[in-house]
């Protein structure tokens, strides 16, 4: 999968540039080290806190551009930290991404209500995390990289596609194909993060595998259908599972197409174009 394009909020004065600052709040030292390496490698400035009290203290000291926050912390939980930050004028608007090992069904809705921009579960895929960070910073700061700015000025509104699959090689391949056809692509690798990303991104279309960690594709479709703003998003099933056992079930669940892996590039693009056209009434232009 290509490394997500980094959108760094920066103020450039001569040779000086201030890159985005990220505060990681987690009591797992190994996770801190791992995330620190990943984010430093992508030009983020990283600081750390290991408990609820020091999290607020570090946020006041650093005034980060984004906080990655665990729920389970010594001295209080992540929701307590968010509540404390929301009461401070200079910290209340800092975007928060929840990264936790706790059950999403019990905590995801609460996190969204508290203002979290994304709810990710451990262990998190590197590219999924970087994509969420990039998009959250972009939404928060309104900054764009040169290419995005050019597209924006030209009025090019690309369709957003969420790909849900735990096969990273397939994600890389589909990303190349769809980016080449002017689609904006986001990813999820399990049933839980699929719903979280759909809520965050509100994509124009979802390409969904059936076999997923944390639940299957039908569970994802059922959860999406219960949410008013997501229920109408068209879904294309792309799976390696037996079509005889699953195609009728997928159609009944509302899938717009049932494709099997490996899928021909032209067949996939045609299915996407048809599903988007039926959904929006607008023909998507492809290369």
Residue 104 shares a structural domain with residue 129:
yes
Query: Per the structure, how many domains does the chain have?
Result: 2
Distance (Å, rounded) from C-alpha 217 to C-alpha 165?
9
The residues, any chain, with a CB within 8 Å of residue 260's CB and separated by 6 or more, are 238, 239, 240, 243
Residues 124 and 86 in one domain: yes
Q: Would you mind telling me the total number of residues written for the chain in this entry?
A: 287
Residue 17 is predicted with a pLDDT of 42
- pLDDT reported for residue 65: 95
The CATH number linked to 121 is: 3.40.50.2300
Coil, strand or helix: which one is 209? coil
Does residue 188 sit in the same domain as residue 212? Answer: yes
- Which residues make Cβ contacts (< 8 Å) with residue 11, sequence separation at least 6? 17, 18
* Domain annotation covers residue 51: yes
- Give the domain-ending residue among 141, 169, 197: 141
Give the pLDDT score at 108. 86
Q: How far is CA 272 from CA 108, 183, 232, 283, in A?
A: 30, 10, 15, 10
Tell me the pTM: 0.50
- 170 with 41: CB under 8 angstroms? no
DSSP string of 143-193, one letter each residue: ---HHHHHHHHHT--PPEEEEE-S-HHHHHHHHHHHHHTT-EEEEE-SHHH
- The domain boundary residue, chosen from 91, 110, 141: 141
Residues of the domain holding 263: 157-280
Q: Are residues 114 and 64 in the same domain?
A: yes
Residuewise pLDDT in 10s, the chain (287 residues): 333 333 343 333 333 345 899 999 999 999 999 999 999 988 999 999 999 999 999 999 999 999 999 999 999 999 999 999 988 988 988 999 999 998 877 788 888 888 898 899 999 988 889 988 988 888 776 543 434 443 433 333 479 999 999 998 888 888 888 887 888 899 999 999 999 999 999 999 999 999 999 999 999 999 999 999 999 999 999 999 888 889 999 999 999 999 999 888 889 999 999 999 888 764 344 44
């Amino acid at each position: 999968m290509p490394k997500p394009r980094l959108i760094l909020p920066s103020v450039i004065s001569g040779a000086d540039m201030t890159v985005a600052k990220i505060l990681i709040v987690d009591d797992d030292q190994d996770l801190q080290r791992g995330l620190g390496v990943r984010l430093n490698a992508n030009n983020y400035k990283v600081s750390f806190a290991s408990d609820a009290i020091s999290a607020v203290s570090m946020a006041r000291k650093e005034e980060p551009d984004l906080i990655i926050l665990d729920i389970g912390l010594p001295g209080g939980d992540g929701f307590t930290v968010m509540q404390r930050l929301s009461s401070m004028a200079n910290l209340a608007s800092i975007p928060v991404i929840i990264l936790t090992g706790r059950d999403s069904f019990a905590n995801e809705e609460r996190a969204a209500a508290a203002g979290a921009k994304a709810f990710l579960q451990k262990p998190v895929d590197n590219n999924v995390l970087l994509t969420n960070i990039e998009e959250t910073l972009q939404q928060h700061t309104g900054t764009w990289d040169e290419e995005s700015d050019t597209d924006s000025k030209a009025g090019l509104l690309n369709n957003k596609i969420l790909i849900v699959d735990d096969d990273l090689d397939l994600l890389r391949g589909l990303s190349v194909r769809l980016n080449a056809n002017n689609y904006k692509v986001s990813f999820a690798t399990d049933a839980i993060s699929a719903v979280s990303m759909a809520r965050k991104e509100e994509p124009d279309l979802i390409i969904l595998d059936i076999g997923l960690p944390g639940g299957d594709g039908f569970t994802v479709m059922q959860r999406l259908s219960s949410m008013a703003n997501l229920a109408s998003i068209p879904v294309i099933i792309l799976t390696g599972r037996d079509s005889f056992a699953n195609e009728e079930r997928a159609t009944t669940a509302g899938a717009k197409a049932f494709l099997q892996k490996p899928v021909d590039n032209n067949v996939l693009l045609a299915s996407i174009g048809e599903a988007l056209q039926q959904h929006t009434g607008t023909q998507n232009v492809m290369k």
